[in-house]
Amino acid sequence: MHQSVQKAQIRLIALDLDDTLLRADLSISEENKRALQRAENRGIHIVLASGRNYFSMRRYAEELSIHRRGDYLIGSNGAQLIRASTGTLLEDLKLPAEFCRSIAADLERQGYAWQLYIEGTIYCNRMNEWAITDHRLSGLPVEVISDVDAILSQDQTKIVVGGEPRRIEALYRELQGHIGSRAEIVTSKPYFLEILPKGADKGVALERLAKRLRIGMESVLAVGDARNDLSMIQKVGWGCAPANADEGVKAVARFVSKKTNEEDAVADILEHIVFG
């Protein structure tokens, strides 16, 4: 981590949402909005990169006017590249149905609560506190799956497992060894583990987007706080983190703000690196 910085030539800013751009009340501060508007006025692309899907990201794209500028969203932790103006999926990676059935059966045997995301709805194997928490965070409605066989006959974007942080950490280590060669395993919150298609990775998705826009990764700034942001932080020229980030993220970040997501960390990072 290097705290001494000089003004950089940034052409794209990629931002995680939860615990990074968003405050605990799920709002974007006016200070962060002003900083992003100032960056946009310089012709810098603003890209939201989140574990959320389009239906949960759309309101923030609209609030920041990203949907009017024709910029992009990286959704579902890199499984989806979305045109912000229309919600069109330009990339849409999937877990095969057979794989999903096998994993769901294993999770059931171990007593885990798990859920899927289809269009704008969370579908859970049983109603549980983690699905309700996800509903509160994402704003998406939640339903109990009525026909598991039918829903698992389709390919899925991701499977999310909710649980106590210690249990989720143990499952993370278990699944890395068991299916890590066939799927991406990340934690987006201490209590949420995500099983994603191979190649569904924020950093890799950001590389593909930068290539599409003909922007070198050295000119990309990314801000994130959690394990699912690590590759994004590592792959860009300017990987940054708020003060509240996971220690592993802060360890690889080029710049760590002294401010948290509650204290306009994104604006602080842009002031140091983009506007400095």
pLDDT digits (tens, 9 = 90+) for 210-258: 999 999 999 999 999 999 999 999 999 999 999 999 999 999 999 999 9
Residue 161 Cα to chain centre, angstroms:
16
**What structural domains and CATH numbers belong to the chain?**
12-92+201-275 (3.40.50.1000), 97-197 (3.30.1240.10)
Q: What is the pLDDT of residue 225?
A: 97
Between CA 202 and CA 188 the distance in angstroms is: 12
Compute the distance between CA of residue 114 and CA of residue 108 in angstroms, rounded to an integer. 8
Say which residues have a Cβ less than 8 Å from residue 270's Cβ, sequence separation at least 6. Answer: 13, 35, 36, 38, 39, 221
Nearest alpha-carbon partner for 96 in 185, 176, 187, 157: 157
pTM of the model: 0.91
Q: How confident is residue 71, by pLDDT bands cut at 50, 70 and 90?
A: confident
pLDDT tens digits for 165-218? 999 999 999 999 999 999 999 999 999 999 999 999 999 999 999 999 999 999
